[in-house]
Each structure stands twice: as C-alpha cells, then as structure tokens.
Structure 1
C-alpha cells in the first residue's frame, strides 16, 4: 500500500503504474533499451517511451513541441475560452438594442454550449480516425466564419447563428488540447502545461469581460467581433503552417515501461529480471532481440502540411462515435467528467448572472463596470494556474521517490483537497457578500478565490485521468466537454430564475454543498483507483463490445 492506495492483491500490473525514478527504485538500468530524461532528469524513465522515429511527436525538438502547443493554446483562448463569455458583460445593453428579453440573450450562450457538446462525439471519432490536425484546422476556420457573421449581425436571429457556428469551433479546442499534451510530452513534463490550459479555459473566460465590457459600453458590441477577427485569422494561418499531426501509432515494443509489469515476456524474446528490492511487485524486462527496424527520415515540411495523414485506426467511424459515449461507464472517466463538469459549471453560472447582479442597484454598473469586476477571477485563475503548475509535478515526484521510484496516477489527487477548500469558501462567501451588499472589491476577491480553487482541483483531476487512462484520453476529454456543455446549457436555462427565487446566499450555499459532495468522491477514487485500473484493463468494455480493436488497446 503506497500512501493509502490499495495495491492489487495478486501483484499484477495496473496500467498507468510505472517505474519513473530508477534512482529511488534502487535499481541499476537493467534494461538499456529504456530511454531516460536528460540532465537533472537523467534518472527518470521516460513515459511514454518514444520510438526511434524522428516523426514521433515525442522525439520532436523541445522548442518545436512548445511552439506547437502554444499555437494550439492560442486557439484554446480565441476559439475555446473566449466565444462563450464574449458578450456576457453587455447582455443587458444588447437585449435593449435588439428588443429582446434578457433571458433570450443569456440563452444564446446556452445554444452555443449545446452545439459544442453535441458535436463532441463526432470530433472524437474524426480525431481518432484521421488525426487532430484536420479537426484543429476546421475548427479555426469555423471560428472565422462565426466572427464574420457576428460582425454583420443586426438581428437576434443573426446573432444566434453566429453563436451556433461558434459552438462548432469551440468543441475541438476545449477537448483535444489536453489530449495533445499527452501526445507531445512525457509524464514528468505535463503538469505545468495542463495547468496553463486550464487557466485558459477558466480564468481567461472570466477575464475577457474586462476587455469586452468597456468595448461594448463605448464602441458597441459589434466591435468585439471586429477586434477579434484579425486574431482568429492569424491563429488559423498558424495552425495550417505550424501544427502538424500529433497522432502516432507507436510500436508496442516502444512502450517498454509498461511491459516490465507483465507476468510473461511476449514472444519468448524477453528476458524477465526482477530487481533486488522489488518495489510494489514491479519487475523489469529486458528485450534482447536481434531484429532491427528501419528508421524513416523526418518528413519534409510540405509533407507535414498535409491536411491529414491517416487513417490511424481500422475501427469504423460509427463504432468510434459510440465508443466515446460508452467510455463514461469507466468509473475513473465518469469521476473526472462529472466532478470537473459540475464544479466548473459554477464559474459559468457566476459569469452569466454577473450582468444581472451588477447592472441593478445597489451597484448599477454599465457593461464596462461589470467587466472590471471580472478582474478578481482573472487574477485568481492565473494564481491558481501558477500554484498547481508549481506543485503538481513536484508533489507527484516526492511521492514517487518515497514509493521506491514507482509512480501511481493517484499521486495527482491529493491537491484536490486544496482546490476544494478555496472553491467552497469562494462560492459561499460570494453568495453571502452579494446578499449583504458588501463592497464590490470583496465580491471580486471571493470570485477570484472561487476560480483559484476550481483551477487547482480541475487540473489535478484531469491530469490524473490523463495518466491513468491515457489510451482513452481523447474519448474521456471529449465526453468531459460534452457533459460540461450540456450541463452548462441547463445552467443557462435555470440559473437566473433560481437566483431570482432563492436569493444569492441560498443559491451559492447550495452550489458550495454540491461542490463539497463532488470533491468527497476523490477519496474512494484515490484509495481504490489502482485496483480499478487493473479491473478495467482486464474488463475493458470498449474491447468487450468490440468498439475498439484489441491492437489499439495494446498500444
């Protein structure tokens, strides 16, 4: 038992459990074929193990990986985080200009969310079948179309059309970006990058009102689209030229850090060697084969610009659509999907009703003033990102060293407790501060505390599922996005009425209680997570239902 994590009784291997630190494991490199980190990380076994192919994304130069990721992150900002809250601060003014009830304007965000969610399973299947590059390119193109329609919209119907098209653009960048991190980076490199992406999705989404509010108040809401257009065009060009395909069918033998835990060596060519101090029932396998592989050359730049290089799987498209839905029957996936989806929905709730709260007495702010109140959550989200980025990997590394060098994905979960404390305090404090008509500075601070906590706990949970069920990361993140957006849609339909009927204190106390209950689910997930990973490996429903090929499960 490592830090309270129940081990598998028969000593079998649970996928996701790896020897990450050979120095702490007190073993010499019994397997010279395993690749290690460089410099101060030379004692770390790389996971996943890269192939010898220069086209393998894990082998790309570090600067190129970062460039690739930052172009995608820019898309996450412009096409993922920004469209939903773009008009929030100006809903009251836009409703007056278009002569529509305020609730109709709020629902345009709901329609954007439901389109984003409904397109999710198809995005998953396309990215699995033909790769992520064509999905990113198409999403960026759809964003340009949506912005142009928004620029010229003079009626509610035209604005609604813009929001619906924008919903199609959001889907890929809200779900596939985290999966791309898994394609590009090793386990010990992912923490800060996942944190950055989460702050883009949460804090930037709230902080955009700081800019959009004054623009709406002084220039009109159309100028939000006028200003946004050149940015989305530049991002589209950058995606076409700089974001190549990260999907890669890696040879099973390149994933040797999984094989050491298997009971028998495949094909009789592996020689099983057990370490003197066998940590956590772990074994190392050394392959001594004489067969050689032909290493291909790096593809030319123009070849890498191909729209797609697939197909990457023999699975049929309808089966892959269904697989992304069935994955919710995986308890670990369901835990991450429901907990992060429900909790992050509260920041959407606050953002949606902020215009209602601060546009009426005693605050009576204009769209610009409503936007400025969002300074608190922007700062809170950024600080939360810095905190989790600085502590997530070091915490997991510390626990790995004290577990004799063996890494468990559950080592990501302890920091959920930190995020839970700040999230619950922020929610309850925000509601009571509004109820008591406290200073707007205090309200903004509590809003920031809420985003600080949400960024921490959502990053920790999503990082856990990325490491624990990496083979299904695309389906899991897609369904996370689907659930989140459908749940958001429900929030947009009822949150304003709930606020009006119950009052802010009662509303946000209820949300705080739900958050506490959701976070408590982390305890059994932490304790029994390893056993469940082994159970899923032996009883994978996607394989049993023949929704994916066995070959894919083994890779």
Structure 2
C-alpha cells in the first residue's frame, strides 16, 4: 500500500502541479507511464531497498522543474516500485497453499486498489491545507513508516525445498508423474537416495529461526545454494512462458483491466474540474466511491468466488478445472463497458456529478474482480510455475499500462470525451468477452503445452525453486 499510494497520490493534484511548474498535464500523465517499466528480483532485501529508494524519490519529486527531470523521477519510481505487484504475488505463492491463495490474492488486490483510491482522496485535502508538495512529502513519510514495519516484521519467504516424492501434474485429464530425484529415473532408487528420505510417517525436521535471525538482510547460508546460481534462468524462463496461451491471456487481461482504471485516474482531475467545477480539495472526495466498490469486489471474487468454484467442482463429479473461475467474469460483460460510458458520456453531457462518481466505483469493482480472477486462473493452471508465471503476466501488463498512461491526455484531447469513451466502451466489451475463448479452449491449450510445463518444472526442481 505504501508504494501504491506513492504512485497514485498525484492523480488529484495534477492541475496544481502543472500550474506550479513548467509541466503540462499531458507531460505529467506521460511520466506516470514510465513507472511500471522496472522489474526487481529478490525478496526481503529487495523490499527494504526499494522502499528506502522510494522515500528518496518522493522527497526529490517536488523539486523537479522540467520534463526530463519528471520522467527520470517517474522512471526510477517505477523501477523501485516494481515489487509492488511482481514480487508481492510471488511471495504469496511462497506462503500459502493453492487452496488458500484465492482469498489472500483477493485481499492483496483489494489493498492495492484501495490504496489507488485512498491516495488521491487524501491528497486533495493535503494539497488544500499544506500545498501540493506535501502530498509527496507525506508519501515519503508513509514509506519511512513502512520501511520500519517491513524491517521488523517481514520475514524472508524464499527457501530451498527438497522434494523426494513424486508430484502429479494433471493436464487435459491425463496424469503425468514427475520424478523429482535429480539424475535418477529408475524405479529402484539407490540406497543413498533412500537414506535422505524421511521414514514412513516421519516429516522433515526444521529448526525455528530466532527473531534476530529473521532480521538478517541476507541469509548467508543461502548464498551457496542453487537458487543464487539460477539467476539467469529466473530472468529467461518468464519470457519462455509467452508460449503458454493461458499465461498470455491472463497477462493481457490483467493489463486491460488495469488500463481502464488508469484511464479513469488520468482523466479524473480534468473531468471533475472542467465539467463539474470541483476545487482541489474536492478532487479527492470522489475516490471514496472506488474504495467502497472495491470491498464489494472482494466479497464477490473472494468470498462468493471460492464458494462458486467449489460448487462447480462438485457438479463436475468432484474435479476442479481452472476455467470454472472464469465464469465469475460474466457480470463484467455489462458492468465494464457500461461504467466507461457512464463516466465519459456522463461528464460530456454534464449529468449530475453522482453519475460519474458511481462510475468510478464500478470501474474499480470491475478491476478488482478482473485482476483477481485472471491471476488466480494463471496460478490454478500452472501451480508449479506460479511464481515465475506471474512475472510474465506482469511484463505483459506493464507494456499495456505504459502505452495507455503515455497517451491518455492526447487520446481524450484529440477525440473528445464522447468519442474517446465510446471507443473505450467498445474495446473493453470485446476484451471482457475474450474469456469465453479460454472457457472453450483453455483446457486443450494446457494439454498441448504439457511438455513445456514439465520441462519448466524440471528446471525449477533442479534450481530448488519448485512451489
């Protein structure tokens, strides 16, 4: 939330920043497009380092006076803020089992988008009372508090797991047994392998870390393990997952859902000021609507969604298919394009301000549900690859976000509110409907990529990174 708030806080103070500097609103919006370009790898030390660097970046931001400095500031903020989404989701796959991740992923998405909404809401009041520069200073302060919290309470989640038992990968209705004994594929394992296995009914023995051990920035005992030597593999493998249709679908879909939210964020200040005459202090108030609707999104995708997929599995004779979760996107066929029309056309025809405010909430609901369902679908489909597959999803999403943030202002300015949002509604309608393609062909696509999946599993197992 601390990183997300730092990214979203400027949305309700774009006009004051533009008036106080030589930067146009178009340049300010374009700068936000550079933020998602970076991608960091690591766990505890990366969280701490990137939070520390974000503090410095937010202190620097008020002193930027030209477009080059602004772009540099936003590029670095994006680089150091990348763990906000890539690393957080990977850490969650470390901590929770597959049957638990749905609920926690929804809580994560909820926190992410509440931060996206609460930041401009609070920023409007801060800007009115203390000036727009203090919006950025308070972000630095919040990150400083977050840094202390992370240092004392964020434990390293990465570890080398030794698996000796076979693991079943069920793809396209067929069961394939993966041998996890490195270099041993015979049915009669050697004596040395048997000696390393726990006896029947005996679990592995672990030593509990002390609180002091948990505070270490880097666990030196891990430096000689296979994990560190596989750094190149961790960089290359996510690119290979572009061959997996399910992963590509999830990445593009997540990017689209967040793209429409970015479209809203980038135009909120302009629309509420020009069409409704909102003052700086009031520009943040409409973001209360997305906060409320995001909670509804959590209840729908998280609470109802988990019950829904269990019911679907029971109807399927107890067999769960990842595509079952995609049926939760059906209401979005109407809500996604409808909210775009209500927001853009409502402002164009200057209907009562409550209409666009409700549209803001529905857009956030759509984003929370769409992102959670697609991320969960990706993890359910390739659970052993979930950590690295999420990186591929984020890479695809970031490319879409870069484009839309860079072109928000020219798009609306050149086409006008009415035409821009009619086009947006048509595009989001087609995009949402694409989930029917995966419902129809998703299982067969997973079946055709079994060899690639098994090869990736072997590489992960050899590197000690199997989830």
**TM-score, length-scaled by structure 2:** 0.86
Residue number in structure 2 paired with 1:299: 209
| Mapped contact 1:315–1:549 kept (Cα < 8 A) | no
Of 449, 472, 479, 2:362 maps to 449
| Mapped contact 1:428–1:509 kept (Cα < 8 A) | yes
User: What RMSD, in angstroms, separates the aligned Cα atoms of the two structures?
Assistant: 3.0
| Mapped contact 2:168–2:178 kept (Cα < 8 A) | no
- CA gap of 1:246–1:288, structure 2 versus 1, over 3 A, is closer
Residue number in structure 1 paired with 2:75: 164
Structure 2 unaligned residues grouped into runs of 5+? 180-184, 190-196
Q: Map 1:325-474 onto structure 2 (within 5 A).
A: 325-360=239-274, 362-474=275-387
- CA gap of 1:294–1:327, structure 2 versus 1, over 3 A, is closer
Secondary structure class of the residue paired with 1:342? helix
| Mapped contact 1:149–1:158 kept (Cα < 8 A) | no
| Mapped contact 1:179–1:474 kept (Cα < 8 A) | yes
Structure 1 unaligned residues grouped into runs of 5+? 1-76, 271-286
| Mapped contact 1:207–1:378 kept (Cα < 8 A) | yes
Secondary structure class of the residue paired with 1:415? helix
| Mapped contact 1:269–1:289 kept (Cα < 8 A) | no
**Is the aligned partner of 1:241 residue 2:152?**
yes
- CA gap of 1:312–1:369, structure 2 versus 1, over 3 A, is farther
Q: Map 1:189-228 onto structure 2 (within 5 A).
A: 189-228=100-139
- CA gap of 1:323–1:539, structure 2 versus 1, over 3 A, is closer
Post-superposition offset of 1:547: 7.6
| Mapped contact 2:326–2:373 kept (Cα < 8 A) | yes
**Is the aligned partner of 1:533 residue 2:446?**
yes
Secondary structure class of the residue paired with 1:296? coil
Secondary structure class of the residue paired with 1:100? coil
Cα distance in structure 2, aligned partners of 1:175 and 1:193 = 15
Q: What is the total number of aligned residue pairs between the two structures?
A: 447
Secondary structure class of the residue paired with 2:335? helix
Post-superposition offset of 1:243: 1.4
| Mapped contact 1:430–1:447 kept (Cα < 8 A) | yes
Q: When you count helix as a share of all residues, which structure comes out higher?
A: 2
| Mapped contact 2:166–2:178 kept (Cα < 8 A) | no
| Mapped contact 1:206–1:374 kept (Cα < 8 A) | yes
Cα distance in structure 1, aligned partners of 2:106 and 2:200 = 43
Post-superposition offset of 1:422: 1.5
| Mapped contact 2:263–2:404 kept (Cα < 8 A) | yes
Of 230, 235, 238, 1:321 maps to 235
Cα distance in structure 1, aligned partners of 2:89 and 2:356 = 31
Q: Map 1:495-514 onto structure 2 (within 5 A).
A: 495-514=408-427
- CA gap of 1:195–1:160, structure 2 versus 1, over 3 A, is same
Cα distance in structure 2, aligned partners of 1:134 and 1:535 = 38
Of 46, 56, 64, 1:145 maps to 56
Cα distance in structure 1, aligned partners of 2:5 and 2:90 = 20
- CA gap of 1:493–1:288, structure 2 versus 1, over 3 A, is closer
Cα distance in structure 2, aligned partners of 1:535 and 1:393 = 28
Post-superposition offset of 1:357: 1.5
Cα distance in structure 1, aligned partners of 2:2 and 2:465 = 34
**TM-score, length-scaled by structure 1:** 0.73
